[in-house]
Structure 1
Amino acid sequence: MSTTPNLYRGFRFPAAIIHEAVWLYHCFSLSLREVELILAARGIEVSYETIREWGLRFGRAFANTLKRRRPRPGDKWLLDEVFIRIRGKQHYLWRAIDQNGVVLDILVQSRRNKKAAKRFFRKLLKGLRYAPRVIVTDKLKSYAAAKKDLKLGGEHRQNRYLNNACEVSHQPTRRRERHRKRFKSARHAQRFLSTRSPIHNHFQLRRHLISASQYRTVRARAFTTWREATGLARTA
């Protein structure tokens, strides 16, 4: 007899519908009302407020499970920070990816000084539990100062263009930010983006680097992992 708890127990809608709504909302740049419309076109009558509650309740759990199940990321970290405006005030979204484009972590902060860089490094090291072989950043001096204070080994490459891949990885967030008409608070932005990033990244399969048949195989594997991570495989 399985002792695995049923995440969907007590909910009126089946697990497949909840799973579909959360996937649509976090994998694509869709609003809650657009997800409601897509489900309505499939004969599923559910309000956007219900979809919001599903995203809050299940999205973070799904994202955490995907992060635990992913293969160990690479040992070359690319870091970058971009500004985001929250209620008229400028904040900074710090992001790190590995050499394969896997998003390692994100952190929303109000500064981009040494203290902020150290906080981001600590978050990365705590979550991944290993130090990188190479760190690639732009020429922001806060990175080097934080790396020195934390006594991180490994090579540090600072160049305006070397971390372009990390800069490009901000684009889905920018699209989502415009769609949501800005974030309401730093806490709200952190909660949403730390949920969205692992889910969205899980389905970014670098199609331009593989053949069509390889892509279909990798895509099928990604969907299998997703169904297992969300508990849908157990309820089928």
Structure 2
Amino acid sequence: MIPISFKRHRFSPEIIQHAVWLYARFTLSFRDVEDLLAERGIDVSNETVRRWFLKFGRLIAGNLRRSRPRASARCHLDEMVIKIRGRNHLLWRAVDDEGEVLDFLVQPRRCAKSARRLLRKLLKKQGFAPKRITTDKLKSYAVAIRKERLTAVHDQGLRANNRAENSHQP
């Protein structure tokens, strides 16, 4: 964790960090963050929030990324058809045990090459290979897992992949 110096600032470090976190996490406008802070009795302008974000945004984001809990050793892979400009494409998704999307990929075809591309992207982003991969019975997943030489247990079957199938629904 990189130490951040908040010297010569009128507001406490907790308020500055909270304002930057609100802006970055929920993609709010600076005026929205100003309003949320005003509801809590903190009188700060949107320009001040903007300056805080420019000065502390990267440092706070880096510290948050480092302190984020590691993803589980189980992941669920799924694909679904979406329309983009009237043409069908496949949205390939990797989801963890809690239903959080770990990674996604949009491809025009449903093939082993696309499944392998999703696996490579997931492995690069996560930094480690999952111990258990759950998929539906699409053969592309088995081919991709074999070609990537993963030692993960590959679960597939009826209703085994409900976590990924339902992760896009509220």
Match of 2:114 in 1: 116
Instruction: Mark the structure with the bigger radius of gyration.
Output: 2
Q: Distance in 2 between matches of 1:141 and 1:117?
A: 10
Report the Cα offset of residue 160 of structure 1.
5.4
Task: Point out where structure 1 has 5 or more consecutive residues left out of the alignment.
Answer: 173-236
Q: 1:159 aligns with which of 150, 157, 160?
A: 157
Q: 1:78 aligns with which of 76, 80, 96?
A: 76
Q: Structure 2 vs 1, CA of residues 11 and 148 (structure 1 numbering), >3 Å: closer, same or farther?
A: farther
Q: Distance in 2 between matches of 1:53 and 1:88?
A: 39
Please list every run of at least 4 consecutive aligned residues from structure 1 whose deviation after the TM superposition is greater than 6 angstroms: 9-12, 83-89
Instruction: Give the TM-score normalised by structure 1.
Output: 0.49
Q: Distance in 2 between matches of 1:85 and 1:60?
A: 34
Q: Distance in 2 between matches of 1:86 and 1:12?
A: 49
| Equivalent runs, 1:59-98 vs 2, <5 Å | 60-67=61-68, 70=69, 73-81=71-79, 92=91, 94-98=93-97
Residue 50 (1) aligns with residue 47 (2): no
Q: Structure 2 vs 1, CA of residues 167 and 53 (structure 1 numbering), >3 Å: closer, same or farther?
A: farther
Question: 3-state SS of the aligned residue for 2:140?
Answer: helix
Q: 2:15 aligns with which of 14, 17, 33?
A: 17
The structure where strand makes up a greater share of residues is 2
Report the Cα offset of residue 50 of structure 1.
1.9
The structure where helix makes up a greater share of residues is 1
Match of 2:103 in 1: 106
Q: Structure 2 vs 1, CA of residues 108 and 40 (structure 1 numbering), >3 Å: closer, same or farther?
A: farther
Report the Cα offset of residue 97 of structure 1.
0.6
Q: Distance in 1 between matches of 2:118 and 2:92?
A: 10
Q: Structure 2 vs 1, CA of residues 53 and 143 (structure 1 numbering), >3 Å: closer, same or farther?
A: farther
Query: Root-mean-square deviation (CA), in Å?
Result: 4.3
Question: 3-state SS of the aligned residue for 2:96?
Answer: strand
Residues 139 and 158, structure 1, Cα contact 8 Å, conserved in 2:
yes
Higher RCO by CA contacts (8 Å cutoff, separation 6 or greater): 1
